[in-house]
Amino acid sequence: MKTNTVFYHAGCPVCVDAEQLVVDTIDRERFDVEVVHLGESKDRISEAEAAGVKSVPALVVGQNAYHINFGASIADLK
Amino acid sequence: MKTNTVFYHAGCPVCVDAEQLVVDTIDRERFDVEVVHLGESKDRISEAEAAGVKSVPALVVGQNAYHINFGASIADLK
């Protein structure tokens, strides 16, 4: 069974850069990768917060949130 | 040809957590992954700084540095 990973971003330059390179490193044979734009999908913000996401870009692997550099805080996306 | 990635850390809890999960997501068929403990290999600090690393844990993919959460600043490792 593949592990779910979700890459949350907000279309910012830092986000796009991270998406192109970090998301590309993920082994798709073992991980399902979903990319979510929180600026466009505000209904997913609460889910991201529940996973521990405080800023974007962030990668959630299973139940763990990893903030990658800093683009924008979740609070600024609401 | 595989792309070089280097995961810099300092043995801190945030680093170990990121190493176990984030490094595990990387597709080893396409990326070479080196793990460097900057607390033990202080001679690699200048190389990390040159790649843009300001804190650990950090993942350098090719020429791009991605800081993952925050464990310790490079300055504190010197």
- The interface predicted TM-score of the complex, written ipTM, equals 0.89
pLDDT at B45: 97
* Chain B contact for A60 (CB, 8 A cutoff): no
Mean pLDDT of chain A: 94
- pLDDT digit string, tens, across residues A17-53: 888 899 999 999 999 999 999 999 999 999 999 999 9
- How many Cβ atoms sit within 10 Å of the Cβ of residue B42? 11
Check CB contact under 8 Å for B27 and A22: no
Check CB contact under 8 Å for B27 and A25: yes
Query: How close does chain A come to B66, measured CA to CA in Å?
Result: 6
pLDDT at A19: 87
pLDDT at A1: 87
pLDDT at A46: 97
- pLDDT digit string, tens, across residues A36-45: 999 999 999 9
Average pLDDT for B28-57: 96
Check CB contact under 8 Å for B67 and A62: no
Mean pLDDT of chain B: 94
First to last CA, chain A: 34
Contact B10, B72 (CB under 8 A): yes
Contact A66, A38 (CB under 8 A): no
Determine which of A19, A25, A27, A63 to mutate to test the interface with B (most B C-beta atoms within 10 Å): A25
Average pLDDT for B34-57: 96
Distance CA(B48)–CA(B42), nearest Å, equals 10
Bridge partners of residue B55, in order along the sequence: B73
Distance CA(A31)–CA(A29), nearest Å, equals 6
Q: Which two tokens stand for residue A46?
A: 């609460």
